[in-house]
Amino acid sequence: MTDCRICAGPLTEFLDLGAQPNSDAFPRPGETDGEFFFRLAVGRCGSCTMVQLMEEVPRERMFRRDYPYHSSGSSVMREHFENTARQLLATEATGTDPFVVEIGCNDGVMLATVSDAGVRHLGVDPSQGVADQARAKGVRVRTAFFEEATALDIAATEGRADVVYAANTLCHIPYLDSIFRGLDALLKPDGAFVFEDPYLGDIVERTSFDQIYDEHFYFFTARSVQTMARRYGLELVDVVRLPVHGGEVRYTLARPGARVPTAAVAALLADEDSKALAAPATLERFAAEVRRTRDDLTALLTQLRAEGHRVVAYGATAKSATVANYCGIGPELVSVVYDTTPAKQGRLTPGSHIPIQPSEAFSEPYPDYALLLAWNHAEEIMSKEREFRAMGGKWILYTPKVRVL
């Protein structure tokens, strides 16, 4: 039996998504032999309710020099992080000579605004390529994994932080005990730790099982975060639901007594209780919906191919590694994936080996159907690709249900 990574309580597995590759490792054609696979399965802790992966993938396999995801690839996300920076500057970085730290700053999409405002800041990210892109925007970055030792060193050399922020990164880090010891040393007495990650409530409601992949180790709820925060000597003082990436929650933690928890905390906790969000029966129902989605999607794609339609996919997301490998979708069902990321183009999707081409080629000529793998950017992509539907093309979505648009 595997133990909870937070409290060492017993984990009960509720969903097995099979053998999966690194979601962000895109092999070159002809170089698929050495691909790494692990068993992707999710469990729930019987003591602290934290939902988490049953197996941990070594961090160096995932966050490397050539980590291909760059956050600035979506205009909606650029705007989201610019607004986030302005809000942090207005509410947290208010003293004299404030200091803002970001864990997982990636290409500097958030910190660039902090830097432009002339506010002292530091990003920490182990992936050299994206860190260099941040530096090109004038952002200060340490190429390192944030952990206790990194935090102690930053506190010693640069002083304590008013706010530490992390987007789509805390849920990537199994070793949270080390992170929170580091935060204790790094945060000022009245400082805040603000982080946002995919919300289990949205994942269950939308059957968005593709949020589960090697990099996403934890699936937070307000309740599991509150319990975890207390264990590490902090208090959950605010929650905000966010529409980005298919539904996230932004959590604010502070030292006990430093801030009065907002009404939103009690409201979200009550909502989770009324839905029995992290109850075993809810998670079992979710797992059954996931299996149904797999069956519906493979049946639809198989039928469309049998009818002679040309079917492609859009967005070589990390998430879609789970969909393709769990559902058995390869080049025989989906001939090509279009994506704007230069580092992914000319490569193959992990495990499923579908060729990736630049999105400019999507219209040459338009396919009959396009499976929208980057469904979290549906509005942005569908408006950019308006012409596809005007020409009679159809989008295929698989969350919350398999459907053709």
Strands 356-358 and 337-339: parallel
**Residue 287 C-beta: closest distance to ligand SAH, Å:** 26
| Residue of the chain from 4, 88, 101, 167 that contacts ligand SAH (CB under 6 A) | 167
Binders in 129-158 for ligand SAH, by CB under 6 A: 130, 145-146
**Backbone Cα Rg of the chain:** 21
172 binds ligand SAH (CB under 6 A): yes
Applying CB under 6 A, does 357 fall inside the site for ligand SAH? Answer: no
For the segment 8-27, give every residue that binds ligand SAH (CB under 6 A). none
223: closest CA among 47, 54, 4, 48?
Answer: 48
Dihedral (Cα; 171, 172, 177, 181), 10-degree rounding = -90
Q: Which residues have a Cβ under 8 Å from the Cβ of 289 and sit 6 or more positions away?
A: 207
Residue 214 in contact with ligand SAH, rule: CB under 6 A:
no
The reply on whether position 44 binds ligand DWN by CB under 6 A is: no
What does the block give as tokens for 25?
């490792």
Of 119 and 171, which has the nearer Cβ to ligand SAH? Answer: 171
Q: Does 377 bind ligand DWN (CB under 6 A)?
A: yes
Q: How far is the CB of 172 from ligand SAH (least distance, A)?
A: 5
Structure-token pair, residue 68: 């291909």
Query: Applying CB under 6 A, does 73 fall inside the site for ligand DWN?
Result: yes
Strand order in the sheet with 235-242: 141-142, 120-124, 99-103, 161-167, 187-198, 248-254, 235-242
Cβ nearer to Zn ion, comparing 12 with 363: 12
CA pair distance 33, 35, nearest whole angstrom: 6
Supply the minimum distance, in Å, between the C-beta of residue 9 and ligand DWN. 26
* Distance of closest approach, residue 109 Cβ to ligand DWN, in angstroms: 10
Please name the amino acid found at residue 163.
Answer: V
**Closest CB to ligand DWN among 235 and 248?**
248
Binding flag, residue 376, ligand DWN (CB under 6 A): yes
- Pick from 26, 63, 286, 326: which binds ligand SAH (CB under 6 A)? 63
> What residues contact 205, with CB distance under 8 A and at least 6 apart?
247, 400
| Distance, CA of 330 to chain centre | 23
Q: Do the Cβ atoms of 370 and 312 come closer than 8 Å? A: yes
Contact positions toward ligand SAH, by CB under 6 A? Answer: 63, 67, 69, 71, 103-104, 106, 124-127, 130, 145-146, 167-169, 172-173
